Amino acid sequence: MPRLLLDTHILVRWSSDAKKLTREQRRVLEAAARNSEPLAISAVTLLEVALLSNGGKLKAPLDDFFADLEADPLVNVIPLTYEVASEFGSMGVLQDPSDRAIVATARIHGLRLVTSDQRIIESQLVPVVE
């Protein structure tokens, strides 16, 4: 069972340029990798990655990026569920729908969110690794 949920930018940085992560983010993710701990991402993150790819902000071709994720047994994609959607509706403090869905996913599944997003961090809606 995963204990960490990666937001979109953390996932992209972790897979392409880990130097852009904070020291704490790298420490936590490297420890998870060393211990073969699964990492979670929200299904919404896949959509955001596709948007980043369309905007030229993804180093690898999108199909390759997704194939690598799918082949990694330690990456768990958490689907959008009725519970997550219901939680999504209760978080008016976050305006960005993707942020709300990712935070709702972390809350429903009891996961710490690895993020650098200041709005999410300041909202204190979910425990974070920043």
Confidence (pLDDT) at 91: 87
Q: Which fold has domain 4-129?
A: Rossmann fold (3.40.50)
Confidence (pLDDT) at 57: 87
Confidence (pLDDT) at 92: 85
Confidence (pLDDT) at 126: 98
Ranges of residues in the chain whose predicted pLDDT is under 50: none
Give the domain ranges of the chain. Answer: 4-129
| CA end-to-end span of the chain | 21
CA dist., res. 88 & res. 5, Å (int): 16
